[in-house]
């Protein structure tokens, strides 16, 4: 089937490879604060999703629309999606999109996809690389009333359907899904390709389309923090309290026996 | 979650001035930066053959890295579109590409430069005969080498000192016999020898004619009479650089393989010199930046009396000085590359002033780059001296940049010529 119309949702996140100590939590306002030298990147799972779409485009042809939601989205970061082979970039970019939850994000993305109109496959990462909720992809499917498959490690188009290998706990299963549908992609699919020079040159000449809430038929009160359905009650760094007890004995064998008793008492063994 | 604007000067998007670099240049910098981090940094010691100095490992590693870059379009980037190239022509872009790639390994960057050099003269005059035959090879999917042969055993800098010597010291002779050029002579130090697709050779038809005698003739590999020495054993780039001697013994090539009539080709040599000098500066800044990053990271986790070493003010001041010199060298070569690209504002790209600027930025960048590498080694102590810290390879790979293209002193004379008429050594 030629020319599959695909939408790939990509989120800008703080670089997950930054050292954990770089991330600070301010529990008074329930926010994560970042040092100024942590650069945003495209979420890694979203990169896998984009790679899945690119492989389909390579094989059977198609159009890839990349969709991202946020505020102050770094152009040099998000335009990488065009450099690797995305055809169009739409940004849902506005202050009011900030601090949304999985619901308000999925809702805004679904409304944007409705506005895009024609779509066969919607690709998302299995979860974001910052909050790791893993709900947006399925949320989009629910709101658009279309089926979804999760944890794809391979996606092929055969006879007008997507043949998907889904990762399961002890291997993978092969599933077929018709169009339109949502597929969430996992790391086993493989890394996003490098941008070829020709793609970089072409991407530099393209500009993203920017949509505000009104452009997708939403009020600011329906998106971002105002549209949240989950209330963040408390954000904090768990205090780790490690106690070390030396289990002794007259001989190594006795120390071992004493250890076993203690473990039994603690119901560990 | 908030995304504050980054101030990390390692970020390729932050470190190049937008006064010179376009959005496309910054995207290229970012792409090459990431490629280097993932594909070169983990393997860069293998480019020296690894612990056992295994040449097969070095060649395999070099080929695999270059093949990936070829597949991404970098080898064809600077060739004309009609032959499959992407026709990039910005010196700023090329210099930024060079710095980023050189941060991983300067010789990997160098080999992309020499590939273009092999056909530079043909491209300058649109020599269709040569380009039709050879440009598509460089624009294909295979890794290709090209070579520009200039220096000679008798006084290398003399040949490169076009302004002063006017080609009168070139001893490689070309003679037009019928429809063929017949070449006899020897070149010393060009590279890569042996495997290049083409050897663009600076010759003279008559040394007495000076500039009017200089001709650049493209000699395909496998041409009868063309032979090579073994590659020289070098201090750095020990497995990747293949520089040596090329011997021309009644080498015959078609008349059309000379790009243009004698008379203007000294200017082309000079143009090569100017662009390669500021590119050399970019090639030196890459390793300097790498050494700064290596030392700064190492000193974060290295403690002296309960405090990270880099948090000691003496050390911080040294790191600051290293960074300052890198920023100055980078700004310098970007500035010169931009001027080279805008002769309508800054004058002919081979004017005395442009030669002086390019020479000054090469000498400055190469000098500070070596200083920065030595500082990194000093700050890191014995670990900095060990192979595993990477700094020693950068330090071995750098000096040749300072030496090539007319050498340190030759380049400095060209700097002086930008200030007053200085005619002879």
Using alpha carbons, list the distances in angstroms from residue B95 to A237, B20, B87, B99, B113: 46, 11, 15, 6, 10
Segments forming the whole domain that contains residue A260: 239-269
Q: Which of A37, A72, A197 sits opposite B74 (nearest CB)?
A: A197
Q: Which residues on adjacent β-strands are paired with residue B220?
A: B198
Q: Is A27 within the bounds of a domain?
A: yes
Q: To the nearest whole angstrom, how far is the Cα of B17 from the nearest Cα of chain A?
A: 15
Q: Is B140 exposed, middle or buried (0-12, 13-18, 19+ CB in 10 A)?
A: middle
Residue A25 in any domain: the answer is yes
Same domain, A40 and A141: yes
Specify if A234 maps to a domain. no
**B89 vs A: CB within 8 A:** no
Shared domain check, A197 and A255:
no
Q: How many Cβ atoms are within 10 Å of A45's Cβ, its own excluded?
A: 25
Sign of CA dihedral A250, A253, A259, A263: negative
C-alpha A124/C-alpha A140 separation (Å) is: 10
Measure B301 CA to nearest chain A CA, in Å.
Answer: 13
Comparing CA positions, the residue from A120, B391, B104, B369 lying closest to residue B112 is: B104
Task: Report whether pLDDT(B6) > 50.
Answer: no
Cβ neighbours of A34 in B, within 8 Å: 1-4
Same-domain status, A116 and A177: yes
Q: Which of A32, A195, A197 sits opposite B1 (nearest CB)?
A: A32
- Cβ count within 10 A of residue B316: 14
pLDDT band at B7 (very low <50, low <70, confident <90, very high): low
Mean pLDDT of chain B: 92
ipTM above 0.95, yes or no: no
Q: Could A197 and B28 be called an inter-chain contact, meaning their C-beta atoms sit closer than 8 Å?
A: yes
Average pLDDT over residues A227-247: 88
Q: d(Cα B23, Cα B40) in Å, to the nearest integer?
A: 25
Query: Based on the domain organization, do A75 and A118 belong to the same domain?
Result: yes
A143 lies in the same domain as A212: yes
By the CB < 8 Å criterion, does B23 face chain A?
Answer: yes
Structural domain count of chain A: 2
Contact B6 A39 (CB under 8 A): yes
- As given in the structure block, the two tokens for residue A112 are 């944007």
Is A233 within the bounds of a domain? Answer: no
Contact B24 A31 (CB under 8 A): no
Are A18 and A118 members of one domain?
yes
Residue A64 and residue A189 in one domain:
yes
How much of chain B, in percent, has pLDDT values that exceed 70? Answer: 97
Domain co-membership, A269 together with A188: no
* Chain B partners within 8 Å of A33 (Cβ): 2
Residue A106 belongs to domain with CATH number: 3.40.50.620
Give the distance from residue B72's alpha carbon to the nearest chain A alpha carbon, in angstroms.
4
Nearest CA in chain B to A13: B3
Please report the number of interchain residue pairs, chain A to chain B, with beta-carbon separation below 8 angstroms.
73
Per-residue confidence (pLDDT) for residue B407, from 0 to 100:
87
Residue pLDDT, tens place only, B46-87: 999 998 989 999 999 999 999 999 999 999 999 999 999 999
**DSSP E strand stretches across chain A:** 4-9, 12-14, 24-26, 31-33, 40-42, 62-70, 88-93, 121-125, 148-158, 161-168, 171-177, 181-185, 209-211
Residues in chain A closer than 8 A to B26 (CB atoms): 76
Residue A27 is predicted with a pLDDT of 87
Domain membership flag for residue A152: yes
A179 and A244 together in one domain:
no
Interatomic CA distance for residues B42 and B34, integer angstroms: 12
Selected residues 44-73 of chain B with any CB under 8 Å from a CB in chain A: 68, 71-73
Do A251 and A222 lie in a common domain?
no
Residue A232 lies in a domain: no
CA of A203: which chain B residue's CA is closest? B24
pLDDT average, residue stretch B109-130: 92
Q: What's the mean pLDDT when you consider all of chain A? A: 94
In a domain, A255, yes or no: yes
CA distances from B198 to A16, B116, B222 (A): 46, 10, 9
Residue B174's pLDDT is 96
Residue B5 scores a pLDDT above 60 = no
Using an 8 Å Cβ cutoff, are B322 and B377 in contact?
no
Q: Do B31 and A83 touch (CB under 8 A)?
A: yes
What domains lie within chain B, and their CATH numbers? 23-138 (1.10.540.10), 147-270 (2.40.110.10), 276-419 (1.20.140.10)
Q: How far apart are CA B217 and CA A87, in angstroms?
A: 44
Summarised one tens digit per residue, pLDDT across range A171-208 is: 999 999 999 999 999 999 999 999 999 999 999 999 99
Same domain, A90 and A138: yes
**Do A209 and A260 belong together in one domain?**
no
Query: The pTM is what?
Result: 0.89
Q: Which residues of A touch B71 (CB under 8 A)?
A: 196
Q: Which two tokens stand for residue B66?
A: 């270059």
């Amino acid at each position: 089937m030629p020319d599959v119309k695909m939408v790939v949702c990509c989120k800008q996140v703080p670089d997950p490879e930054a050292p954990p100590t770089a991330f600070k939590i301010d529990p008074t306002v329930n926010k994560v604060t970042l040092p100024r030298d942590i650069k945003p990147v495209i979420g890694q799972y979203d990169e896998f999703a984009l790679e899945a779409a690119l492989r389909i485009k390579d094989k059977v042809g198609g159009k890839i629309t990349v969709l991202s939601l946020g505020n102050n989205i770094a152009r040099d970061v998000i335009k990488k999606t065009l450099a690797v082979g995305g055809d169009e970039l739409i940004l849902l970019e506005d202050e009011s999109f900030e601090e949304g939850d999985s619901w308000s994000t999925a809702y805004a993305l679904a409304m944007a996809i409705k506005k895009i109109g024609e779509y066969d496959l919607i690709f998302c990462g299995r979860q974001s690389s910052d909050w790791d909720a893993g709900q947006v992809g399925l949320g989009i499917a629910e709101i658009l009333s279309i089926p979804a498959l999760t944890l794809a490690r391979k996606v092929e188009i055969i006879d007008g359907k997507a043949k998907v290998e889904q990762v399961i706990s002890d291997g993978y299963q092969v599933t077929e899904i018709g169009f339109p549908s949502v597929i969430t992609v996992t790391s086993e699919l493989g890394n996003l390709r490098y941008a070829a020079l020709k793609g970089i040159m072409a991407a530099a000449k393209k500009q993203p389309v920017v949509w505000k809430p009104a452009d997708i038929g939403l009020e600011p009160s329906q998106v971002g923090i105002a549209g949240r359905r989950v209330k963040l009650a408390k954000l904090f760094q768990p205090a780790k309290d490690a106690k070390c007890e030396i289990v002794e004995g007259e001989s190594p064998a006795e120390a071992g026996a004493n250890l076993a008793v203690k473990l039994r008492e603690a119901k560990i063994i | 979650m908030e995304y504050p604007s980054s101030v990390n000067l390692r970020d390729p998007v932050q470190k190049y001035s937008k006064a010179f670099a376009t959005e496309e240049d910054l995207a290229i910098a970012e792409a090459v930066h990431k490629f280097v981090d993932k594909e070169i940094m983990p393997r860069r010691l293998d480019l020296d053959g690894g612990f056992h100095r295994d040449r097969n490992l070095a060649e395999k590693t070099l080929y695999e890295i270059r093949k990936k870059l070829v597949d991404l379009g970098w080898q064809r980037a600077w060739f004309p579109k009609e032959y499959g190239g992407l026709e990039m022509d910005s010196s700023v872009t090329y210099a930024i590409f060079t710095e980023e790639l050189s941060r991983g390994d300067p010789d990997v960057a160098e080999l992309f430069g020499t590939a273009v050099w092999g056909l530079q003269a043909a491209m300058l005059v649109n020599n269709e005969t040569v380009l039709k035959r050879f440009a598509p090879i460089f624009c294909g999917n295979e890794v290709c080498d090209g070579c520009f042969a200039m220096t000679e055993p008798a006084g290398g800098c003399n040949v490169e000192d076009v302004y002063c010597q006017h080609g009168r010291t070139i001893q490689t002779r070309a003679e037009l016999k019928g429809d063929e050029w017949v070449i006899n002579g020897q070149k010393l130090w060009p590279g890569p020898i042996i495997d290049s697709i083409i050897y663009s050779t600076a010759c003279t038809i008559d040394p007495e004619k000076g500039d009017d005698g200089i001709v650049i003739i493209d000699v395909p590999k496998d041409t009868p009479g063309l032979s090579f020495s073994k590659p020289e054993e070098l201090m750095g780039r020990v497995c990747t650089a293949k520089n040596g001697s090329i011997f021309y013994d009644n080498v015959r090539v078609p008349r059309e393989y000379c790009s243009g009539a004698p008379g203007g080709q000294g200017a082309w040599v000079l143009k090569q010199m100017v662009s390669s000098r500021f590119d050399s500066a970019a090639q030196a800044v890459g390793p300097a930046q790498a050494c700064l990053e290596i030392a700064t990271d190492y000193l974060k986790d290295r403690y002296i009396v309960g405090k990270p070493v880099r948090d000691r003010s003496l050390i911080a001041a040294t790191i600051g000085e290293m960074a300052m010199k890198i920023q100055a060298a980078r700004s310098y070569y970007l500035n010169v590359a931009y001027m080279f690209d805008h002769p309508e504002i800054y004058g002919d790209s081979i004017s005395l002033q442009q030669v002086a600027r390019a020479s000054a930025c090469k000498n400055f960048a190469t000098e500070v780059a070596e200083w920065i590498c030595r500082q990194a080694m000093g700050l890191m102590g014995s670990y900095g001296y060990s192979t595993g810290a990477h700094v020693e390879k950068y330090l071995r790979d750098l000096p040749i940049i300072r030496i090539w293209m007319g050498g340190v002193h030759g380049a400095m004379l060209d700097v002086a010529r930008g200030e007053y008429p200085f005619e002879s050594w």
